[in-house]
Amino acid sequence: MKIYQLNNIKDKKQFLKDLKVHGGGVSIMAKKMELLYFFIKDLKTPAANILKQDALSIGAELATPSGVITCEKETYDCLLVGTRTHMEVLSKKELAQPFGLKKLAQELQSFLKVKAYPIQIMGIINANDDSFFAASRFLKEDAVKQIKSMVANGANIIDIGAVSSRPNAPVVSEKEELVRIKDICDAIKFEKLYEEVSFSIDSYTPSVIEYALKSGFNFVNDITGASNDEVVKLAVEHGAKLCIMHMQGTPQDMQDNPNYEDVMVEVSEFFEERIEQCESLGMKREDIVLDVGIGFGKTLEHNLMLLKHMGHFKKFACQVLVGASRKSLIDKIIPTPTEERLAGTLAIHLKAVSNGASVVRCHDVREHQQALAVWEALQ
């Protein structure tokens, strides 16, 4: 007999099938193979004691501070640990319990229903002269060549923007933004490049977005989080996907002093509010993409927290986009000029994909296609 430890089994059901496990047991066993962790913030003390006992009764665990049992405080932060089967049982059991446990049960159920999306690579093209990475800037003829190159190298989506959103970027007028993007849109429409790949317009200006959508674009990437209802309505009218990004402040002041009481909670609440508003305007949830906004009004610690726990945002049943390509958080970890941040970018993006991101926005399509193909083979 020989034995070795398996660190990760991506497709647990398929592994069990290959092992010739009886059909009825595959689904049951697969759920027992997946260990889940849920951080619960400000749980009422009576609820913590009830949940602790219910968790223990089925073989799960609730890690609590020592003062919970004596009710020293009104609320506590706790960690719920168990298999997927445990969470399914608890999510049903706690529906009948008081002290906010019904809401907790409903939250657990939303996490358990997350949808798996295929990984897509979004290539970046900037139609301006001041984006932070010079190699991403292209005018009409060069932009078309770069689009074709990105498609050949494995891009699923091409994201084109005419206004830089780097920290302290200059404000650009609506007229100037349209002038910058118009020729590229016209070329995409004339050559019917939209038949080969999806095009995303990186803008929050309705007139620019409308022009792009009429040129064959089918994705709107709005760094303001779709704060303008007109943008949402345009996406709905043209059947386009809409990326809602979180940003604290504006590009001109977002990095002055980013501050959060709890960045995970605040970004999550922001998405909840924006999704509700978008759906009220006719947007389908499956057409909404979420971007936590790495580097947009966040410190290094905020960015790392969001990247480490990106799987949390899958509970909204939307695709999750990660966009950390060559950004300054890499420089804050290890001093590196923008031109030399590809390795750091790949490390961040592979971690984000491991944690639930399914759309990777990047400057270097070919390198990402290779890295993701190897990553997939290792799962």
Strands 75-83 and 35-44: antiparallel
- H helices within the chain, ranges in order? 12-18, 23-32, 45-57, 84-93, 101-112, 140-152, 174-190, 206-213, 229-237, 263-280, 300-308, 328-333, 342-354, 365-378
Cα 9 from Cα 104, distance rounded (Å) = 29
Q: Which two tokens stand for residue 265?
A: 């909670």
Q: Which member of 52, 180, 327, 341 is catalytic? A: 327
Establish whether 361 is a catalytic residue.
yes
Q: Which member of 180, 274, 298, 361 is catalytic? A: 361
Beta bridge partners of 159: 124, 200
Query: Which residues contact residue 117 at a Cβ distance below 8 angstroms, ignoring those fewer than 6 apart?
Result: 319, 358
CA atoms lying within 13 Å on the CB side of residue 41? 6
- 61-63 β-sheet, strand order: 35-44, 75-83, 61-63
| Coil/strand/helix, residue 260 | coil
Establish whether 327 is a catalytic residue.
yes
Q: At what angle do helices 342-354 and 365-378 cross, to 10 degrees?
A: 40
Question: Annotated active-site positions, please?
Answer: 327, 361
